[in-house]
Amino acid sequence: MKNDPLPCTGAWDFLRRIGRFVRFSHTVFALPFALTSMLVAANGLPSWNILFWILICMVSARTAAMAFNRIADWELDKLNPRTADRSKLISLITARTLLGISSVVFVLATSQLNALCLVLAPLAIAIIFFYSITKRFTSYSHLFLGIALGVAPIGAWLAVRGTFDSFTPFVLAFGTLCWVFGFDLVYSTLDADFDKKMGLYSFPSRYGIPAALKLSLFLHAGAAAAFGCFGILSRLGWPYWCAWVAILPLLFVEQQWARSGDPGKTNKAFFEVNAAVSILLLSGVICSLWWFR
């Protein structure tokens, strides 16, 4: 059949397909924010045991979320020229197996951190899965993606501290939410016509691309402000503020590329610029903590 998965040529090819299926390279978006929160919570590097299980939690949670998203959109993705090849990477059975395994790994990993992380694991799963069905009933599905990625800094803080003892990770979570909400609006402009045709809810398909880009600009301004507040609350030094200043023109460039009408530039704005933003923020925290310890 046309949409049957292409035959694999070996174990490495199979793993490569899974990586493409869940966009493993996009882990660079959420992971640096979790690590940023972890480092500030520990005032440096926590134990290797905590670091290891945080990494397992982040990778498994994101894999589960992406697998659920792909399964939920399986038939729709076949109809969208931009996503039609996704169902050819692996079979639906394999996708469901991946979802089950990664979800179990996430829960088991939280059990290795502390009791609160384990208790909140089902809530975390519900939040990251919920985003995938929101496009069926709200134009603000992008907000729910922001919430899904925004829980990462809070989870990492809890992994280190084991309690809600500070407002700081919530400020970083809010900044992450605004940042993700903003860049997903940019990315969703690529599917505005398809979403409208299929009767799906998305902000660009309902309110238009210009309105989506205006909201994206506002949200990225909010993200920059939140990242600044995070630096103040965390009492980070000048390396962090250098990174923060460097992030500002990157967000501006992303907005300019998004307004170009060029799908190639929109894709670059989504991946390359946003990867640089998250890595810069993490680097600023690492250098700040290292310099002033």
The pLDDT value recorded for residue 5 is 62
| pLDDT averaged over every residue in the chain | 89
pLDDT digits (tens, 9 = 90+) for 248-288: 999 988 888 878 777 777 777 667 788 889 999 999 999 99
pLDDT category at 1 given cuts 50, 70, 90 is very low
Tens of pLDDT, residue by residue over 163-208, are: 999 999 999 999 999 999 998 998 888 888 888 888 888 899 889 9
Report the pLDDT value the prediction gives residue 248, as an integer from 0 to 100. 94
pLDDT of residue 44: 93
Condensed to tens digits (0 to 9), the pLDDT of residues 76-89 reads 888 888 778 877 88
Query: 11-292 adopts what CATH topology?
Result: Tetracycline Repressor; domain 2 (1.10.357)
For the whole model, what pTM was predicted? Answer: 0.90
pLDDT bin (cut points 50, 70, 90) of residue 38 is very high
Is the predicted pLDDT of residue 4 greater than 60, yes or no? no
What DSSP assignment string belongs to the chain?
Answer: -TTSPPPP-SHHHHHHHHHHHTTGGGHHHHHHHHHHHHHHHHTS---HHHHHHHHHHHHHHHHHHHHHHHHHTHHHHHHSTTTTTHHHHS-HHHHHHHHHHHHHHHHHHHHTT-HHHHHHHHHHHHHHHHHHHHTTT-TTHHHHHHHHHHHHHHHHHHHHHSS---SHHHHHHHHHHHHHHHHHHHHHGGGHHHHHHHT---HHHHH-HHHHHHHHHHHHHHHHHHHHHHHHHTT--HHHHHHHHHHHHHHHHHHHHHTT--HHHHHHIIIIIHHHHHHHHHHHHHHHHHHH-
56-67 mean pLDDT: 94
Listed by start position, the domains of the chain span: 11-292
pLDDT band for 7, please (50, 70, 90 cuts): low
Residue 281 is predicted with a pLDDT of 95
Q: What percent of the chain has pLDDT over 70?
A: 96
